[in-house]
Structure 1
Amino acid sequence: MGEQDVIDLLVTQHGQIRDLFDEVEQAPPDKVEEAFDRLTRMLSVHETAEEEIVHPYARRKLDNGQGVVGDRLTEENRAKRLLLELHKGGVDHPEFWERLGELRTAVTMHARSEERYEFAKLRANTSTVERRAMAAA
């Protein structure tokens, strides 16, 4: 892990999250909840890493870091609200699939914004050693 670049790691996780959305959508009815739980765990791990390691670093290192991170947090909070609604209603709720689609759209747009506005700037303004240290953390 110490040799991994944090940005490469997070972008890889974005791909895994897309795959997990596919898994939920394609799961047989008796496996939807299990697949949804895996998606939820990955989203939680991913966002925690960003909130505890990447965003604080970006705030300090990037021009307008506060604004860049603030925009990402607004997106993250919207996704968190949608995820909470999904969990409250459960996978059998009549609006589960519609809400899951909304969550997927929100998460996808957020990931693209991170990659474009935060990760690209971090890569340009940090060293390989710094990014590896963030990945190890």
Structure 2
Amino acid sequence: MILPDAVDVLRREHEEIRRLCAAVRGAERNRKKYPLAALQQAVHLHELAERSVAHPAVRNSGPDGDAVALACQVEGERLDRSLAELGRLGVEHPAFDERFAALSGALLSHAAHEERDEFPLLRRYVPADRLHMMAGAMQDVRIMAG
């Protein structure tokens, strides 16, 4: 069995975030709270792991690594904060669905941005054994945060 590396783990997390966005959008108003909480947790832990492990590795990857990592990190941190603010607003708020639609679109766009710009740098410039160690380090970050 081949163990997943950091890029594999991040891609799986993006898929889970996409699934949770769809679950929130598709749920009846009185059933949005649980998938929203799961989405908030998934995004928060994902961003912590990226900030601690993935973005620093991208910074040292190729001529555009610094700019790509900084852009992805700033965007991710903003989305994490926005999702927390939306959670505090609550699913019962009349503007929740409209705000969630905009925010989930931004989350999906952010994931696509990372997959297009950041992940190829990791694959190209970071040795496979380090990518596997990074997957373990990201898990450690999640455990310490959770």
User: One-letter code of the match for 1:14?
Assistant: H
Calculate the TM-score normalised by the size of structure 2.
Answer: 0.86
Displaced runs of 4 or more, over 3 A: none
Gaps of 5+ in 1: none
Q: Where does residue 72 of structure 2 map in the other structure?
A: 72
* 1:91-115 deviation digits (Å, cap 9, x = unpaired): 1111111111111111111111101
| 2:23/2:35 contact within 8 Å kept | yes
Q: Where does residue 60 of structure 1 map in the other structure?
A: 60
The total of aligned residue pairs comes to: 136
Q: Where does residue 108 of structure 1 map in the other structure?
A: 108
Q: Where does residue 128 of structure 1 map in the other structure?
A: 128
The 5 Å alignment of 1:4-23 reads 4-23=4-23
Gaps of 5+ in 2: 138-146
- Bigger mean CA deviation after superposition, 112-121 or 79-88: 79-88
User: One-letter code of the match for 2:65?
Assistant: G
Distance, in Å, in 1 between the alignment partners of 2:77 and 2:5 is 26
User: One-letter code of the match for 2:114?
Assistant: E
* 1:112-135 deviation digits (Å, cap 9, x = unpaired): 110111101110111211110100
Calculate the TM-score normalised by the size of structure 1.
Answer: 0.91
Distance, in Å, in 2 between the alignment partners of 1:74 and 1:135 is 22
User: One-letter code of the match for 1:68?
Assistant: V
Distance, in Å, in 2 between the alignment partners of 1:62 and 1:51 is 18
Distance, in Å, in 1 between the alignment partners of 2:105 and 2:74 is 15
User: One-letter code of the match for 1:77?
Assistant: E
Matched, 1:51 2:72: no
User: One-letter code of the match for 2:9?
Assistant: L
Distance, in Å, in 1 between the alignment partners of 2:51 and 2:77 is 11
Higher relative contact order (CA 8 A, sep 6+): 1
Identity fraction in percent:
34
- Bigger mean CA deviation after superposition, 6-15 or 79-88: 79-88
